[in-house]
Amino acid sequence: MASYEKEVDGLQRLFEEVQTDDEPVDEKDPNEIDHVSIETYTSDTEQEIDESDSIASVTVDPNVKYFVGKDGTKWAKHCPSMNIKTAQYTIVKVFPGANHTLKHLVTPLDIFGSLFRDEIRNIIVESTNIKITSVQDRYSRERDCRPTTLIEIKASLGLLYLTGVRKINHLNVNDMWRADGTGIEASRHIIDINRFKFLLQCLRFDNIHTREERKQVDKLAPLRQIFDEFVRCFKSAYRHSELVTIDEKLEAFRVKCSFRQYMPKKAK
């Protein structure tokens, strides 16, 4: 009971001190940014508090403008003056959102095309044709290994995108072209199954003849050109403002990669 009365008396003293403290609040220049004064404590004014003592046992110096907590936190006795200018570094001038060029787009196809532009798809077409040229001697008929075009690559990528939308990306390719009602009817109208398989085998994203040389200095060489173009498209389509929070996301990945990192704690 004595400890309770001691604590009540201590709190009462703190309350009376704040009420009777007539020290005027310093008026700050409106051009100043900081509105909280920083006090430098000496060994005479610094309040050292034993963790075993309660707040009621603290003797507060009326000349000090702060209450000091057990962890060293300083709490100002008076509210800071609100008649000041907002600090320049706290003013957000750019708000996050899509750029004006993307805001006018309506259909999902137009939005996807603005992010996955023809510059990227042309790189895929050129790289795939280089691979097709290297395997042409394996085919007896020229029409079975003819070079691809931008329209054909768009159709193939669109079909792959469709399998993801319908959540059938694990479906066997032959089952997609079934005509018994269990397949995807759109696939039979988009591209021939043999041609689709051939393009998947030859699909490349860089020049295979110079890849080994580039891999000596860049481990992302097979995708570097596509990756840089893709990042550039996103930068021109969306502004992230001055305040950004970056987080990580782990994707399922089973391909052999030299810079792949396995984290057992995040594998579940």
- Digit-coded pLDDT (tens) for 192-217: 999 999 999 999 999 999 999 998 99
The amino acid that residue 84 corresponds to is: I
More confident residue, 54 or 118: 118
**Res 34: pLDDT:** 44
Q: Which residue has the higher pLDDT, 106 or 40?
A: 106
pLDDT tens per residue across span 159-180: 988 888 888 878 888 888 888 8
pLDDT computed for residue 68 by the predictor: 82
Percent of the chain with pLDDT over 70: 76
Cα-based distances in Å from 188 to 38, 119, 164, 221: 74, 28, 17, 35
* Amino acid symbol at 191: I
Q: Please report how the helices 193-202 and 118-134 are oriented relative to each other, as an axis angle in degrees rounded to 10.
A: 90
Q: Using CA atoms, how far apart are residues 221 and 213, in angstroms rounded to an integer?
A: 9
C-alpha neighbours within 13 Å on the C-beta side of residue 44: 1
| Tokens coding 119 | 């510059």
User: Mean pLDDT in the chain?
Assistant: 77
As a whole number of angstroms, the distance between CA 227 and CA 229 comes to 5
3 state SS of 151: helix
Query: Is the separation of the CB atoms in 111 and 250 below 8 Å?
Result: no
Q: What is the pLDDT of residues 71-83, one digit of tens each?
A: 888 888 777 777 7
Backbone angles phi, psi at 75, to 5 degrees: -115, 120
Name the residue with higher pLDDT: 122 or 78: 122
What is the tens place of the pLDDT at every residue in 18-64?
Answer: 655 545 445 545 444 444 444 444 444 444 444 444 444 444 455 66
Buried/exposed code over 56-69 (b: 16+ C-beta within 10 A; e: otherwise): bebebeeeebbbbe
The pLDDT, as a whole number, for residue 56 is 40
The pLDDT score that the predictor gives to residue 43 is 42
Nearest partner of 93 among 236, 247, 246, 239, judged by Cα: 239
- Whole-angstrom CA distances from 135 to 45, 129, 132, 183 are 84, 10, 5, 30
Residue type (1 letter), 170: H
**Which pLDDT value is given to residue 33?**
44
Helix then strand count (H, E) for the chain reads: 10, 4
What sign for the dihedral angle of Cα 61, 63, 64, 65? Answer: positive
Rounded distance between C-alpha atoms, residue 195 and residue 144, angstroms: 8
Of 140 and 87, the one with more pLDDT:
140
Three-class SS of residue 108?
helix
Mean pLDDT of the region 247-256 = 73
CB atoms near residue 156 (< 10 Å): 20
Query: What are the structure tokens assigned to 180, written together?
Result: 């018994």
pLDDT reading at 150 higher than 90: yes
